[in-house]
Amino acid sequence: MTRSYLKLGLKVFVFAWFLITLPLLGESEWSFAVSGDSRNCGDIVMSAIAPKVRADGAKFYWHLGDYRANYDFDEDMLAATAARNQHLAVADYQRTAWSDFIAQQLEPFGDLPVYLAIGNHELVPPKTRADYLQQFADWLDTPELRAQRLRDDPRAHKLTTYYHWIRDGVDFISLDNASPDQFDGEQVAWLEKVLARDETDANIRTVVVGMHDALPDSVSAGHSMDESPQMEQSGRRVYRDLLNLRGKSKKHVYVLASHSHFFAEDVYNDACHPTPETLLPGWIVGTAGAVRYRLPANLFGAKNAHTDVYGYLLGTVQPNGEVRFLFREVLQKDISAGVSERYGSKQVTACFEGNKSQYTPAGPDCGK
């Protein structure tokens, strides 16, 4: 009889433990959102991305660069000015473009953290990296990022356009490949130190690397880090570094980029990476409002490729460190009445039915 009571008590205890811990196991999943390229129609599209990201429960949003066109007027800014019966002069555009990005694209996220990567359009003359660091210091030098920078190097008091932060066992690394001279030696040396720490740190299960241009030899190689010799050489080195990290540590490694204005998954699954040992999981998500390109003629093994869409990539981190990614589309019906009034319904429709280019990125040559 005593043994029966003991067995019953044990079963009750195990069942109670299961009921108590089940909600906690569910809470161990968490998500984040990523996209890039919000020039042209980004003020309209990002106004819908922000509330959807918040509704998804994402812990932060990561913008992969190209906030405003800078070389020419953004259509959304022209429309907003015209709706007020005003004229947008070149000097006024250059003076206000970044402020417009902050007001119309970042502020809708409210208190949700936003991380910024730099894109090539942030460096359209006369803009410089120094201008960028000054304008966006509030996002690049948050207490979180400053503390991480000084933990890595107590003497690192200078802001840079690349940085990283760690959240719940995931190291998020935001890189700068916004100009043909990148990655330079200083950035590569910094990155390799970060990866070396990640390799031996038992608390790090996952590394997620984000940047504007995709690394060399993707299915969209013609519009990526294949654009200059320095980009190719340094980008391939970084790709090898990430492969080595995964091979030695067995940790999860993911690579996110934009620059090409479409969505595609598994973008390094091509002839340049013929075996699982040479293939990194990668996504291109240049879908935050920029003029939409045509898909590459040969997508090789890339999956779920779409153009003429807007939206963001939602990454859900699993308890084991795996990240499951899902593209979340933004439709014209998601645009609020207030935004339609500000830019005019005609411009909103033009952004969704038009805003297209026939530009088609070339495929990879695998360094030949």
Q: Is the model's pTM score more than 0.75?
A: yes
pLDDT per 10-residue tile (average), the chain, 368 residues = 46 41 57 99 99 99 99 97 92 97 98 99 97 98 98 97 99 99 98 99 98 98 97 99 98 99 99 97 99 98 98 98 99 98 97 98 90
Full domain range(s) for residue 234: 28-353
> Which H or E element spans position 141?
none
Looking up tokens 């654009």 gives 227
Residues 82, 76: Cα–Cα separation, whole Å: 10
- What torsion do the CA atoms of 93, 94, 98, 104 make, to the nearest 10 degrees? 0
Confirm whether 179 is domain-assigned: yes
Residues 32, 113: Cα–Cα separation, whole Å: 10
Confirm whether 164 is domain-assigned: yes
| C-alpha of 60 from chain center | 11
Confirm whether 346 is domain-assigned: yes
Confirm whether 196 is domain-assigned: yes
Return the DSSP state at 105. I
Helical H segments across 102-224, by residue range: 129-135, 137-140, 143-152, 185-200
Confirm whether 132 is domain-assigned: yes
End-to-end Cα distance, the chain: 79
Closest CA to 263 of 284, 294, 290, 291: 284
Q: pLDDT at position 173, please?
A: 99
Confirm whether 87 is domain-assigned: yes
How many domains does the chain fold into? 1
| C-alpha of 273 from chain center | 23
The domain that holds 175 is classified in CATH as 3.60.21.10
Put the strands of the sheet holding 282-285 in their side by side order: 163-167, 170-174, 206-210, 252-257, 282-285, 263-265, 303-306
In the numeric block, which tokens belong to residue 246? Answer: 């995964």
CA dist list (Å): 279 to 88, 268, 326: 47, 6, 20
Q: pLDDT at position 83, please?
A: 86
Confirm whether 178 is domain-assigned: yes
Q: pLDDT at position 367, please?
A: 75
Confirm whether 313 is domain-assigned: yes
